[in-house]
Amino acid sequence: MTPGAPQDSSIPQPVVVIGLMTYVVPATGGFTFGRDPASTHCLDPDDLGVSRSAGAIVHRRRHWWIVNASKTHPLTILEGGLRETLMAGRSRLVTESTTIWVAGRFRTHALHVQFPDGPADLGLDQVQVGSSVPGGRREPAEFAQRVAGTVRQRLSIRPR
């Protein structure tokens, strides 16, 4: 079994909508986005304002995460009516339909993350902010850095 893969099919798979493109995000591989053509979705290969590996949506320990895989550029997140800046190298849980904005030099790209069955029941009632997650480890910024490094490695991207 692949680490991070759901143990059963009851965990919803998010759908990412970018313009007219729609992607179902697999739990085993996740979803990557950025300037690199090897990303799941290449935002704009000519826009140097977008990181080659801007971010990813990954499944880890029964939860979906947004990961900012960039070394320098923040992502803007809108979830539940609240706007948040996700700094480079950080990650956060995805608990409901969310919009991710990736700012480039030429335009801002919008990625809409949706859970087709409504709000995701991700077992968040079992996790408190700052508490250990199942497996006994915390999920600090080092998790985001590890995932960002893995995304860059899989895409053969050198850090800027």
Query: What confidence tens digit (pLDDT) does each residue in 101-154 have?
Result: 999 998 999 999 998 765 444 444 433 333 333 333 344 455 555 555 655 555
What is the structure's pLDDT at 85?
97
Q: Rounded CA gap, 65 and 152, in Å?
A: 17
What is the structure's pLDDT at 9?
59
- Asked whether 94 and 79 are in contact (CB, 8 A), the reply is yes
Task: Tell me which CATH code domain 15-119+142-154 carries.
Answer: 2.60.200.20
Q: Rounded CA gap, 84 and 89, in Å?
A: 15
What does the longest C-alpha to C-alpha distance in the chain come to?
Answer: 44
| 23/131: higher pLDDT | 23
Instruction: Please provide the average confidence, as pLDDT, over all residues in the chain.
Output: 78
Task: State the amino acid at position 78 in one-letter form.
Answer: L
71 has pLDDT over 80? yes
Query: pTM of the prediction?
Result: 0.69
Residue spans of the domains in the chain: they are: 15-119+142-154
Q: Residue 157's pLDDT band (boundaries 50, 70, 90)?
A: low
Instruction: Identify which of 31, 26, 1 has the alpha carbon closest to the alpha carbon of residue 155.
Output: 31
